[in-house]
Amino acid sequence: MLLHLSTWPEVESYLTHRRAIILPIGSTEQHGPTGLIGTDIITAQAIAEEVGRRTDTLVGPGIPVGMAHHHMGFPGSMTLRPSTLIQVVRDYVVSLTAHGFRDVLFINGHGGNMSSLDAAFYEIYEQARLAHGEAAPPVRCEVCHWFLLPAVVALQRELYGDREGHHATPSEVAVTQHVYPKSIKIAHLDPNPGQADFFRDWRDFRDRFPDGRMGSDPSLATPKDGERFLHAAAAEIVARHGDFLNGV
Ligand code: NI
């Protein structure tokens, strides 16, 4: 069930027995010469919809632009400042809790969003405490970074070993190939992608990772692999967060 394809009476009815919603969050940023700019929201959206199907949970609109400052050296990348992203996350959650939603599970496709999500949750909790004290309505936020799930990491290792890398990875590209098979891109890839364990800002990032990849070989990706990642991630999210989505 998708919020944007529902009517308000349907949502009202859902809220009589469920208080959970899933929100995908991604990024709009370069993913190397063959990865789609929308990779991080495409993957988060697809996994969120699969988890929603498996648990009969409503899936709300995604946050397609995240904190991607370090990718701004490449055309097409967009970013929110961390402070903006924190406010966007807070306003999404507060809009929903005003109607009776209580349990919000973010499915995140982008590492750059992690610290802002944590900060946003504390903003939400603290603003409610300051405004209402003990009488604050209960709100519970959780996040799952799908690409860090143990089942996903195990599959990354099995299929790609060290060539998984850290950005524009074959695993995330594979998921986009499964979702959008007509948008599979092919380009020559330097066999030695940038390797570094540190970067400072957007200029430094492009100096260290000239084509946008961080140690990855996305030419290994296949749509079939993508389907495996999608289902491995969804299954583990249901196992880890299923009780939360059911209000436990
Ligand atoms: Ni990504």
CA of 40 to the centre of ligand 1 (A): 5
DSSP summary character for residue 183: G
Give tens-digit pLDDT for 34-92: 999 999 999 999 999 999 999 999 999 999 999 999 999 999 999 999 999 999 999 99
CA of 109 to the centre of ligand 1 (A): 6
CA of 32 to the centre of ligand 1 (A): 10
Mutual angle of helices 114-132 and 82-97, in 10-degree steps: 50
Query: Domains in the chain and their CATH numbers?
Result: 3-245 (3.40.50.10310)
**pLDDT of 196 above 90:** no
Backbone angles phi, psi at 136, to 5 degrees: -60, 135
**pLDDT of 114 above 90:** yes
Q: Tokens representing 167?
A: 């950005």
CA of 138 to the centre of ligand 1 (A): 32
Q: What is the pLDDT of residue 193?
A: 84
Q: Whole-angstrom Cα distance, residue 170 to residue 173?
A: 5
Q: Which residues surround ligand 1, an ion (CB under 5 A)?
A: 39-40, 172
Is 238 strand, coil or helix? Answer: helix
Nearest C-alpha neighbor of 229 from the set 176, 163, 191: 176
DSSP summary character for residue 71: G
How many other β-carbons are positioned within 10 Å of the β-carbon of residue 5? 8
CA of 114 to the centre of ligand 1 (A): 13
Entry pTM: 0.97
Q: What is the pLDDT of residue 140?
A: 97
CA of 169 to the centre of ligand 1 (A): 7
Q: Once rounded to an integer, what is the mean pLDDT over residues 139-155?
A: 98
Q: Whole-angstrom Cα distance, residue 27 to residue 222?
A: 22
CA of 170 to the centre of ligand 1 (A): 10
CA of 91 to the centre of ligand 1 (A): 24
Q: What is the pLDDT of residue 87?
A: 98
CA of 145 to the centre of ligand 1 (A): 11
Q: What is the mean pLDDT of the chain?
A: 97
- Say if residues 223 and 181 touch (Cβ distance below 8 Å): yes
Q: Once rounded to an integer, what is the mean pLDDT over residues 128-149?
A: 95
CA of 167 to the centre of ligand 1 (A): 6
CA of 38 to the centre of ligand 1 (A): 8
Q: Whole-angstrom Cα distance, residue 42 to residue 109?
A: 8
Q: What is the pLDDT of residue 195?
A: 79
CA of 39 to the centre of ligand 1 (A): 6
